[in-house]
Structure 1
Amino acid sequence: MEFEWYLILALVGTGIAAGFINTTAGGGSMLTIPLLMFIGLPANVANGTNRIAILLQNIIGAGTFRNKQVLDLKTDYRLAVPAILGSLLGALFAVEMDVNLLKKIIAGLMVVLLLVVVLKPDAWVKELAGKVDAKPTVMQYIIFFGIGLYGGFIQMGVGFFLLAGLVLGCGHNLVRANAIKVFIVLIYTIFSLGIFIFHKQVDIVAGLILAAGNMFGAWLGANFTVKGGAKYVRYVLIFAMVIVILNLFGVFVVV
């Protein structure tokens, strides 16, 4: 597939926006997957191709958070383990469901989560003293196994629920939560991208062009998260969640 200069600019520009949104909150794939379909990729190939951008984006994001000493790989990997196991199990039991009903159920859950973000700002901004521990508790392992199960079974909106688990379940503020979320999604994506490549549902060239934007957006997003602090990241999270909820309810359609 040949790419005209304007398509390259569109992919890179959209990738920058998506990388920033994904790193600071979530939902950036609402921008990239429709664009990949618009340039002519089938839906399944667009979904697979997007994983290249997500993978490289999160490598940059995780690396930036680590350099800023926000992400500690020696301890933060522990929450990724139950999430990955849960996602694998969820994928095994995935079944066909009514798409419109599914979107409304997820939107309803996200409305509840949005209310918690809006009405309980301190829980998202402040690190909860005495609650954060380098070694997760059994309950936290269960929470992240459940989030992984959800992600493997349904997938949509899993980034927001990862943030909720890290903030409300573990006591991290949004800066630390975003860093750990980026790392967990990075590990997720290694497995999912491999599956798409195995089934020949990835356009490597389109994915790398998109990834160029996503990587820069992730770098911007990680630096914004660290410098701006949890207070400003919370505003980005609220904005992203509102857009995703409106889309899921069909107020406007971007996917």
Structure 2
Amino acid sequence: MIEVELWKVGLLFVAGVASGWINVLAGGGSMLVVPVMLFMGMPGPVANGTNRIGVIAQNVAAIGGFFRRGFSDFRLSATLAACGGFGAFFGAQVGVKLDGIWFDRTLAIIMICILVIMLTGLGQKPKQTDGKPKNLLLGHFLFVIAGFYGGFIQIGVGLIQLPILNRVMGLDLVRANMHKVFVAMVFSFVSLGVFASQVKIEWALGLALAAGYAIGGWLGANSAVSKGEALIKKVFYLALAGMAIKLLFFR
């Protein structure tokens, strides 16, 4: 375990606030957190596992927000989550063993791929639907795959879940996001359990991260500075590109 120091708690809290804010305004904010933990000296599997604490906190808050606004379908959410959790268990078994230079390179490649998706919108264009779920068997099977990825690395898993829910299963974006956060919460619990059983999770730092995620999400949701979104995205993309280059070529 790394030594828990005040500056590390503060840094992860700030990173969590920034990530939660970016998640609302631009998307993909969780890509910021894991590299920060790596640069603090946290081993790859520990950073990968500890990040799940913040992800769970953010999704719990989101589920509550949807429920308060009258959006819930716990039967479908539960069956999708069961499939996602099944996949996540096996994905986490792989992720927990990925360490050192291979973790850095895998993370960098994933970050580059996600940046391309975010910049081009590849496969992310919403489909107009009647909101009624269809292709249930295929959708549940694809959630096993999405869960595997979520258990393995988690970063950017929403970019996999949303097309399944919207384009394959025919759900509108509101309900797609409603199911997405529920499934992500469940498979994050599963993967956190796997990581916690095999590596020493940094619980104190994870709780600071979770608090930051929650506050950042609230600030982003209530932010009126919409004109700054384009600049935020550009700075965010440049920062992630720099992190990816650092992980690939500089140790």
- TM-score w.r.t. the length of structure 2 is 0.71
Alpha-carbon distance in structure 2 between the residues aligned to 1:82 and 1:204:
27
Shifted more, 207-216 versus 137-146: the winner is 137-146
Work out whether residues 75 and 135 of structure 1, in 8 Å CA contact, stay in contact via their aligned partners in 2: no
Q: Which residue of 2 aligns with 1:143?
A: 142
In structure 1, list runs of 5 or more residues that go unmatched: none
CA distances 1:102-146 after superposition (whole Å, capped 9, x unpaired):
8558855874686455xx88x52xx7343x325762222233233
Work out whether residues 27 and 244 of structure 1, in 8 Å CA contact, stay in contact via their aligned partners in 2: no
State the identity %: 32
Change (3 A) 1:144 1:243: farther
Work out whether residues 80 and 140 of structure 2, in 8 Å CA contact, stay in contact via their aligned partners in 1: yes
Work out whether residues 19 and 30 of structure 2, in 8 Å CA contact, stay in contact via their aligned partners in 1: yes
Change (3 A) 1:249 1:19: closer
SS at 1:41's partner residue? coil
Matched, 1:18 2:11: no
Alpha-carbon distance in structure 2 between the residues aligned to 1:190 and 1:101:
23
Work out whether residues 88 and 190 of structure 2, in 8 Å CA contact, stay in contact via their aligned partners in 1: no
Q: Which residue of 2 aligns with 1:172?
A: 171
In structure 2, list runs of 5 or more residues that go unmatched: none
Alpha-carbon distance in structure 1 between the residues aligned to 2:9 and 2:244:
31
SS at 1:205's partner residue? helix
Match of 1:3 among 5, 8, 24: 5
Shift of 1:15: 0.7
Work out whether residues 55 and 190 of structure 1, in 8 Å CA contact, stay in contact via their aligned partners in 2: yes
Change (3 A) 1:218 1:250: same
Alpha-carbon distance in structure 1 between the residues aligned to 2:168 and 2:243:
25
Paired residues in the alignment total 242
Q: Which residue of 1 aligns with 2:60?
A: 59
Matched, 1:73 2:80: no
Amino acid at match of 2:5: F
SS at 1:184's partner residue? helix
Computed over aligned residues only, the root mean square deviation of the Cα atoms, in angstroms, reads 4.3
SS at 2:128's partner residue? coil
Shifted more, 147-156 versus 47-56: the winner is 147-156
Q: Which residue of 2 aligns with 1:128?
A: 128
